[in-house]
Amino acid sequence: MQTHSKSGITRKRFHPSLLLTNIKPCNAFQALKDANWATAMKQEYEALVNNHTWDLVSLPPARKVVGCKWLFRVKENPDGTVNKYMARLVTKGFNQIQGFDFHETFSPVIKLITIRIILTIALTNGWDLFHLDVNNAFLNISLDETIYMTQPSRFEVTDKNLVYKLNKSIYGLKQTPRQWFDKLKTTLLQLGFCLSKVDPSLFVYQHNHQIVYILAYIDDIIITGTSLSIVQQISSSLNSTFSLKQLGD
């Protein structure tokens, strides 16, 4: 529910019945007592398993494991009601050892001034603007390093001494954002894009007097250009490589 103050500022006013539904659990044991959170956790776990994110193995001698934990988030509608219960399994990246579990970590993100410039160009010329989101972006990355992770709480197999040998990157690893950007950059370069010299997160496509811009902020993408058909074609090509969520104009 929204209210309007004398100052003209619109504020949200939540109904008391919504407060209980928006309380996030503190741990996996607490979450599994609630059907909504339990479903969200099982969906996350099944997505990881289906993606062959890990292999269950015995920990080799002289190797250490990286811990993991569950994170919970309530995605809300504009009126404060619950849109979706989200559970994410993440690694405890602070357990990683530099030079052994990871090396480079820096990953660029689009500059705010670049976003403003491209939006201004698009609006001035009446171009279509689309917002895309990559589903489980980090699961598209294969790891260069060998990393072992503990089994997630409440989802352990019978032998709790076994650990996960990670095949794919997972949220929480220090190198994940950099590896994801490299994967996205390689894909866009293969599609004919060039990297901007002033902002490494701005990709430019030019062909037959047509131009397309892609702005990348981790797994959020804005795409615009002179030709709607080319924009849609590029979006379709990206969707064939990554699973995209179309967030609309």
- Dig out the tokens for 95 from the structure: 């357990």
Tokens of 222: 């804005």
Cα end-to-end distance, the chain, whole Å: 25
One pLDDT digit (tens) per residue for the chain, 249 residues: 555 555 555 555 545 444 445 678 888 888 888 899 999 999 999 988 988 899 999 999 988 889 999 999 988 888 888 888 989 999 998 878 777 777 777 888 889 999 999 999 999 999 999 988 887 777 777 788 889 999 988 888 878 889 999 998 888 888 888 888 888 899 999 999 999 999 999 999 998 889 999 999 888 889 999 989 899 898 888 888 887 777 767
**Contact of 82 with 34, CB cutoff 8 Å:** no
Question: Per residue, what are the HEC states of the chain?
Answer: CEEECCCCCEEECCCHHHHHHCCCCCCHHHHCCCHHHHHHHHHHHHHHHHCCCEEEECCCCCCCCECEEEEEEEEECCCCCEEEEEEEEEECHHHCCECCCECCCCCCCCCHHHHHHHHHHHHHHCCCEEEEEECCHHHHCECCCCCEECCCCCCCCCCCCCEEEECECCCCCCCHHHHHHHHHHHHHHHCCCEECCCCCCEEEEEECCEEEEEEEECCEEEEEECCHHHHHHHHHHHHHHCCEEECCC
Q: Tokens in use for 192?
A: 């004919």
* C-alpha of 94 from chain center: 19
Q: What is the pLDDT of residue 137?
A: 72
The pLDDT of residue 13 is 54
Over residues 49-80, the pLDDT tens digits come to 988 899 999 999 988 889 999 999 988 888 88
pLDDT at 21: 53
Residue type, 106: F
pLDDT of residue 111: 92
The count of other CB atoms within 10 Å of the CB of residue 59 is 15
Taking the complete model, does pTM exceed 0.85, yes or no? Answer: no
So where are the chain's domains?
Answer: 2-246
